[in-house]
Amino acid sequence: MSNTLKGVLLASFAGWCWGSMAVCAQFLFDSCGFVSSDLTTLRLFGSGICLLLLYAATTRKSIFSPFRDLRNLRDVIIYGLGVLLIQWTFFKAISVSNAGIAAVMVGFGPLFIIFYFVLMKGRRPSFKEILCLFLALIGISLLVTKGNFRISDLSWGGCLWGLASAGCGAFCTVQPKKAIERAGVSFVVGWGMLIGGLIAMCFTPLFNDNVQWNISSFLAYAQIVLFGTVAAFWCYLKSTEYVLPSISAILASFEPFSAVLLSVIFLNSSFNAYELIGGAAIVANMIILSWPKKTTTSSQTNQSVSAEKISTANAPEKELLRKSELC
């Protein structure tokens, strides 16, 4: 399996995990007395602990040992604040508008990453990236609006908060890359989540009396922590080791597609033709981005042929050398 395909699959799976989290969160909001602030605090705190336990179990190291390099401490604190801001601005966008507008605005995250690479790294986006970004925005828009584009439904406050969440998400995609190279994904994301959860606890208690805990709510919460957060963030940031962060962000558009699909299966939601087209656009993204480059293949073939020619040309010399050594 090529590195590009690994990155595409990891980022796509992260999107599916985030989408499944949305379905479980909807259940907790509607049936178990949860509110967004409760779930944000519990999600970050629980996920941080799970990821740090995973780090300790897989590396056999103390969860504090990478902090000997103070750069890791700095980067983890910044990442934790960024993760908290992603949650807060996203829920703020929903509160002043609706979930559809918030999701569409967050879909602009890859555009921020592309602009970052253009301005800071001098790298121009490829035609494939621009095409897939366009497909992602079209797909997300169709999925969350169901084809209803009335301007009267637009909330400028929701748009601004959604764009702020997209900017924070783009920052948290690029910012921890060096820290991950030094200390690993589980360490950086685990401490980032835990720090974000501890800060959130200053404003929202970890446990609220209005929350109804039972087997169903516990399983939904466990799914949000283990798959919707731990697996999703780990796979998403791991994918940036194989593909560009802008490509990972584009593939995260699988989140609304999987959320709609799982809502149809488990929550008996409706599904129309516009959503079908939007889902097809997002699936097309994965196919386009995982398609192998012909130039790379031909280059490798040319190198192999050249190496074979050189080896054949040097064969008589090698044979003479072998005979002289035997003598």
Q: Which of 150 and 70 is assigned the larger pLDDT?
A: 70
Q: Among 151-160, 229-238, 243-252, name the one with the lowest average pLDDT.
A: 151-160
pLDDT for position 305 = 43
Q: Which of 262 and 72 is assigned the larger pLDDT?
A: 72
pTM given for the model: 0.71
Residue range 296-314, pLDDT digits in tens: 444 444 444 444 444 444 4
Q: Which of 226 and 152 is assigned the larger pLDDT?
A: 226
Q: Which of 321 and 226 is assigned the larger pLDDT?
A: 226
Give Cα separations from 196 to 20, 34, 38 (angstroms).
22, 19, 13
Instruction: Please answer whether residues 19 and 254 qualify as being in contact, where contact means their C-beta atoms are separated by less than 8 angstroms.
Output: yes
Residue 101 has pLDDT above 70, yes or no: no
Say whether 278 sits in a helix, a strand or coil.
helix
Reported confidence tier of residue 201, pLDDT bands at 50, 70, 90: confident
Helix (H) or strand (E) holding 321, with range, is helix 315-326
**DSSP states of 141-184:** HHHHHTT---GGG--HHHHHHHHHHHHHHHHHHHTTHHHHHHH-
Residue 160 has pLDDT above 80, yes or no: yes
Residue range 203-215, pLDDT digits in tens: 877 777 778 889 9
Q: Which of 130, 109, 103, 146 is nearest to 278 (CA)?
A: 146
- Mean predicted confidence (pLDDT) in 15-22: 80
Residue range 181-195, pLDDT digits in tens: 899 888 999 999 999
Average pLDDT value for the chain: 78
pLDDT over 90 percentage in the chain: 18
3-state secondary structure 215-243: HHHHHHHHHHHHHHHHHHHHHHHHHCCCC
Q: How far is CA 106 from the centre of its chain?
A: 12
d(CA 266, CA 224): 16
Instruction: Please answer whether residues 164 and 282 qualify as being in contact, where contact means their C-beta atoms are separated by less than 8 angstroms.
Output: no
- Mean predicted confidence (pLDDT) in 107-125: 80
pLDDT over 70 percentage in the chain: 80
Q: Which of 135, 129, 133 is nearest to 284 (CA)?
A: 135
Structure tokens at 221: 């919460």
- Mean predicted confidence (pLDDT) in 14-37: 81
Domain coordinates in residue numbering, the chain: 3-292, 298-327
